[in-house]
């Protein structure tokens, strides 16, 4: 097992990463919360697989566990779900010391996290991420949110968990496509800030695809360490945290234009990272050989490396200008200067972007 510490002063916390560690959850939760009740938020699929292990571990450490089931899917990351969570917590008498625990992927983590941030003005929050994306990305860093019909994640908060427990054995039951989506975010960390990890990924991508436990623990820990360092430097996204959006400018446009659900997030981000790498080459920032390494690693992970030809480049540009992270409609890209080093460019000429996209 590996533990990564996120250093944020009095909001610091541990991320425990290992194989078969779910049964130890109760003892770790006990270290961070004194309450006698716990709200366990999950969905039907994940609860059926891991709810029992988690509940009995919590019960073994003195928690009365109240399961709170939410719908499975992005469309349930909404205010109606939050209301149900608040009402259940209140009806069961959870007080300010009682933890809210998220067991599931990023959808469960984001919704349960916002409930924890706001119920009684904030209660201890514990993340138990069960998807690869949640283990390497959404469970770390303290962004919690729900969606509105007009936009993703528009109601949210920065609220750090007290503890994250990532059991990579849970990934054995994760659909194959979700594994690949998580790999896209792993590759992202290599490109943005960890050249050594990128090299490691080139050598070990096949082990990750075959769910080798040692390789998964190593990779999830490396990713969490990278994300922790970025978040420590810029908890509330005033600057450096924006590098985590590498691949996401074009990626979000692909998701929006092709209709949510056609491409999963990681696939769209993979195509977006390849596009950003090509754009960097066109601007003379990144050598062609490094573009080839990025594209080749993404395709070995089974991810798309080109934008869908059906998407019109004018529509893509319009969508990117409307992205909520683009300031004043400017074309904002995180571009690699080398593998392991990126820079934010926040007003790129449209013609350049158009050429790189096509």
Ligand X SMILES: NC(=O)c1ccc[n+]([C@@H]2O[C@H](COP(=O)([O-])OP(=O)(O)OC[C@H]3O[C@@H](n4cnc5c(N)ncnc54)[C@H](O)[C@@H]3O)[C@@H](O)[C@H]2O)c1
- By annotation, the residues acting in catalysis are 121, 143, 185, 227, 237, 241, 245, 248, 252, 265
Residues near 226 by Cβ (< 8 Å), separated by ≥ 6?
189, 192, 193, 194, 197
Min CB(131)–ligand X separation in Å: 3
Provide the minimum distance between the beta carbon of 43 and ligand X in the complex, in angstroms, as a whole number: 5
**For ligand X, which stretch binds (CB under 6 A), given 43-51, 216-224, 284-292, 305-313?**
43-51
104 binds ligand X (CB under 6 A): yes
Nearer to ligand X, 106 or 272 (CB): 106
Q: How far is the CB of 65 from ligand X (least distance, A)?
A: 19
Per-residue contact flags (x/-) with ligand X for residues 287 to 306, judged by CB under 6 A: --------------------
- By CB under 6 A, residue 18 contacts ligand X: no
Q: Is residue 319 within the footprint of ligand X (CB under 6 A)?
A: no
Nearest approach in angstroms of CB 141 to ligand X is 5
In SS3 terms, 24-61 reads as HHHHHHHHHCCCCEEEEEEEHHHHHHHHHHHHHHHHCC
Q: Quote the least distance from Cβ 248 to ligand X, whole Å.
A: 9
**Options 40-48, 198-206, 235-243, 289-297: segment touching ligand X (CB under 6 A):** 40-48
Instruction: Find the shortest distance in angstroms from Cβ 106 to ligand X.
Output: 2
Segment near ligand X (CB under 6 A), from 14-22, 90-98, 168-176, 252-260? 168-176
Q: Which part of the chain contacts ligand X (CB under 6 A), choosing from 13-21, 166-174, 307-315, 335-343?
A: 166-174
Q: Does 77 bind ligand X (CB under 6 A)?
A: yes
C-beta closer to ligand X: residue 145 or 205: 145
Binds ligand X (CB under 6 A): choice among 41, 110, 183, 290: 110
**Closer residue to ligand X in complex, CB, 51/340:** 51
Print the SS3 string covering the chain: CEEEEECCHHHCEEEEEECCCHHHHHHHHHHHCCCCEEEEEEEHHHHHHHHHHHHHHHHCCCCEEEEEEECCCHHHCCHHHHHHHHHHHHHCCCCCCCCEEEEECHHHHHHHHHHHHHHHHCCCEEEEECCHHHHHHHCCCCEEEEEECCEEEEEEEECCCCEEEEEHHHHHHCCHHHHHHHHHHHHHHHHHHCHHHHHHHHHHHHHHHCCCHHHHHHHHHHHHHHHHHHHHHCCCCCCHHHHHHCCHHHHHHHHHHCCECCECHHHHHHHHHHHHHHHHHHCCCCCHHHHHHHHHHHHHCCCCCCCCCCCCHHHHHHHHHHCCCCHHHCCCEEEEEECCEEEEECCCCHHHHHHHHC
Our finding on whether 72 is near ligand X (CB under 6 A) is: yes
Helices 248-257/313-322 angle, 10° precision: 110
Nearer Cβ to ligand X (104/190): 104
Q: Footprint of ligand X on residues 119-158 (CB under 6 A)?
A: 130-131, 133-134, 137-138, 141, 143, 152-153
Within 192-251, which residues bind ligand X (CB under 6 A)? none
CB of 93 to ligand X, least distance (A): 28
Using CB under 6 A as the binding rule, whether residue 46 contacts ligand X is answered as yes
CB 88 within 8 A of CB 41: no
Residues contacting ligand X: total by CB under 6 A: 27
């Amino acid at each position: 097992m590996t533990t990564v510490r996120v250093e944020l002063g009095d909001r610091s916390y541990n991320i425990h990463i290992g194989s078969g560690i779910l049964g130890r959850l109760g003892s770790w939760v006990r270290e961070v919360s004194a309450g006698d009740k716990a709200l366990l938020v999950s969905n039907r699929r994940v609860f059926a697989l891991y709810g029992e292990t988690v509940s009995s571990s919590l019960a073994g450490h003195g928690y009365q566990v109240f399961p709170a089931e939410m719908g499975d899917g992005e469309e349930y990351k909404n205010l109606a779900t939050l209301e149900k969570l608040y009402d259940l917590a209140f009806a069961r008498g959870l007080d300010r010391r009682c933890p809210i625990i998220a067991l599931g992927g990023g959808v469960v983590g984001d919704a349960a996290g916002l409930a924890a941030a706001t119920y009684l003005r904030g209660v201890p929050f514990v993340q138990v991420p069960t998807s690869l994306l949640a283990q390497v990305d959404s469970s770390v860093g303290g962004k919690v949110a729900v969606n509105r019909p007009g936009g993703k994640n528009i109601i949210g908060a920065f609220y750090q968990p007290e503890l994250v427990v990532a059991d990579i054995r849970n990934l054995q039951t994760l659909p194959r496509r979700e594994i690949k989506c998580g790999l896209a975010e792993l590759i992202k960390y290599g490109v943005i800030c960890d050249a050594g990890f990128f090299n490691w990924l080139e050598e070990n991508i096949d082990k990750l695809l075959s769910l080798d436990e040692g390789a998964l623990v190593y990779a999830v820990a490396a990713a969490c360490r990278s994300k922790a360092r970025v978040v420590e430097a810029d908890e509330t996204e005033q600057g450096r945290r924006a590098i985590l959006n590498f691949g996401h400018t074009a990626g979000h446009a692909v998701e929006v234009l092709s209709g949510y659900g056609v491409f999963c997030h990681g696939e769209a981000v993979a195509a977006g990272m390849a596009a950003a790498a090509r754009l960097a080459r066109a601007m003379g920032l990144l050598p062609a050989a490094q573009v080839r390494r990025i594209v080749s690693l993404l395709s070995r992970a089974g991810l798309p490396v080109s934008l869908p030809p059906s998407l019109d480049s004018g529509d893509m540009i319009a969508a990117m200008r409307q992205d909520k992270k683009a300031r004043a409609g400017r074309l904002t890209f995180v571009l690699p200067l080398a593998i392991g080093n990126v820079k934010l460019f926040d007003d790129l000429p449209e013609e350049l972007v158009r050429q790189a996209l096509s």
